[in-house]
Amino acid sequence: MAQPLKILLVEDNPDDAGLVERELCRSGFEPQIRRVDTEADFRRQLDGEFDLILSDFHLPGFTGLQALALLKARPELETPFILVSGTLGEETAVQAIKLGATDYIIKDRLARLGSAVVRALGEGASRREAAKAEQARRLFRLLTEESIDTLEVVEPATGRYLDVNLAGPRELGCTREEYLALRVCDVETSVTAATWPDMVRRIREAGSIRGEGTHRRKDGTEFPTEYNAKWVRLDRDYIVAVIRDISLRRRAEQDLRESEERFRQLAENIHEVFWIVNAAKDQMLYVSPAYEAIWGRTCASLYAAPRNWIEAIHSDDRHRVELAWTEPSGDGTYEAEYRIVRQDGTERWIRDRGFPVRNAAGEIERMVGLAEDVTESKRLNEQFLRAQRMEAIGTLAGGIAHDLNNILAPMLMAPELLRPSIVRENDRRMLDLIEQSARRGANVIRQLLTFSRGMGGERVPLQLRHLIKEMTGIMRETFPRDIEVAESIASELLPVVGDPTQLHQVLMNLCVNARDAMPGGGRLKVAAKNVELTEAEVRIHAPSPPGFYATISVTDSGHGIPTEIITRIFDPFFTTKPPSQGTGLGLSTVLGIARSHNGFVTVESAPGRGTAFTVYLPATQSAAGSTVAVAGSALPVGGGESILLVDDEAAIRTALRLILERQNYAVFTAGDGAEALAIFLKQPEVIRLVLTDLMMPVMGGSNLIRALREVSPTLPIIAISGVTDQANHVELTDLGVNQILEKPCGPAQLLEAIRTQMAPRDPR
* CA–CA dist 402, 453 (Å, integer): 14
Strand 364-373: give its sheet, edge to edge.
Answer: 284-287, 273-278, 364-373, 347-358, 334-341
Cα–Cα dist 538/725, whole Å: 34
If one counts every other C-beta atom within 10 angstroms of the C-beta of residue 569, the result is: 21
Taking the C-alpha atoms of residue 345 and residue 342, their distance in angstroms, rounded to an integer, is 5
pLDDT value of position 681: 92
The whole-angstrom separation of Cα 367 and Cα 354 is 6
Helix (H) or strand (E) holding 411: helix 375-418
Give, in order, the Cα–Cα distances in Å from 616 to each of 545, 547, 550, 708: 11, 11, 6, 49
- Our CA angle for 417, 423, 427, nearest 5°, is 75
pLDDT of residue 491: 86
How far apart are the C-alpha atoms of 183 and 399, rounded to whole Å?
102
Name residue 68's amino acid. L
Question: Which CATH number describes the domain made up of 642-757?
Answer: 3.40.50.2300
Kindly give the residue spans of alpha helices, DSSP state H, lying in 611-665: 650-662
Fold match between domain 147-245 and domain 252-373: yes
What dihedral do alpha carbons 300, 303, 305, 308 form, nearest 10°?
70
What pLDDT, on the 0 to 100 scale, is given for residue 121?
84
- The amino acid present at 45, given as its one-letter code, is Q
> How many beta carbons lie within 10 A of that of residue 400, not counting itself?
17
With a CB cutoff of 8 Å and minimum separation 6, the contacts of 660 are 638, 643, 645, 667, 754
Q: Which residues lie below 8 Å from residue 97, measured CB to CB, with a gap of 6+?
A: 104
CATH number belonging to domain 3-141: 3.40.50.2300
R_g (Cα) of the chain, nearest Å: 52
Adjacent-strand bridge partners of 480: none
What is the architecture of the domain spanning 252-373? Answer: 2-Layer Sandwich (3.30)
Q: Is the CB of residue 226 less than 8 Å from the CB of residue 244?
A: yes
Residue 563's identity, in one-letter code, is T
- The single-letter code of the amino acid at 329 is S
Contact indicator for 224, 244 with CB cutoff of 8 Å: no
| Residues 6+ positions from 176 with CB-CB distance below 8 Å | 164, 166, 168, 169
CA distance 350 to 338: 5
Domain map (residue ranges) of the chain: 3-141, 147-245, 252-373, 464-624, 642-757
How far, in Å, CA of 419 to CA of 48, rounded?
117
Give the predicted TM-score (pTM) of the model: 0.38
Task: Give me the residues paired with residue 612 across strands.
Answer: 555, 604
Print burial letters for 129-161: b (CB count within 10 Å at least 16), e (below 16).
eeeeeeeeeeeeeeeeeeeebbbbbbbbeebeb
Superfamily name and number for 464-624: Histidine kinase-like ATPase, C-terminal domain (3.30.565.10)
Cα torsion 406, 407, 410, 413 to 10°: value is: -80
Give the per-residue SS3 of 281-345.
CCCEEEECCHHHHHHCCCHHHHHHCCCHHHHCECHHHHHHHHHHHHCCCCCCCEEEEEEEECCCC
Superfamily of domain 147-245: PAS domain (3.30.450.20)
Edge-to-edge strand order for the sheet containing 600-605? 483-489, 522-533, 547-556, 611-618, 600-605
Closest to 312 (Cα-Cα) out of 282, 278, 348: 348
Distance of CA 448 to the CA centre of its chain: 37
Q: Residue 338 CA to chain centroid, in angstroms?
A: 25
Give the mean pLDDT per block of 10 residues along the chain (764 residues): 87 87 88 90 88 87 88 85 78 81 81 84 75 59 73 92 90 93 93 94 94 93 94 89 90 84 77 88 89 90 88 91 83 90 89 90 89 84 63 63 70 72 77 74 61 56 87 84 91 88 84 88 93 84 86 91 76 60 64 86 88 92 44 71 92 87 92 92 92 89 91 91 65 84 80 81 45
What 3-state class would DSSP assign to 216? strand
In sequence order, what DSSP letters do the residues of 92-117 get, joined into one string?
HHHHHHHHT-SEEEEGGGGGGHHHHH
Task: Give which of 167, 169, 168, 170 is closest to 147, Cα–Cα.
Answer: 167
Kindly report the CA angle at 127 between 125 and 130, in degrees rounded to 5?
Answer: 110
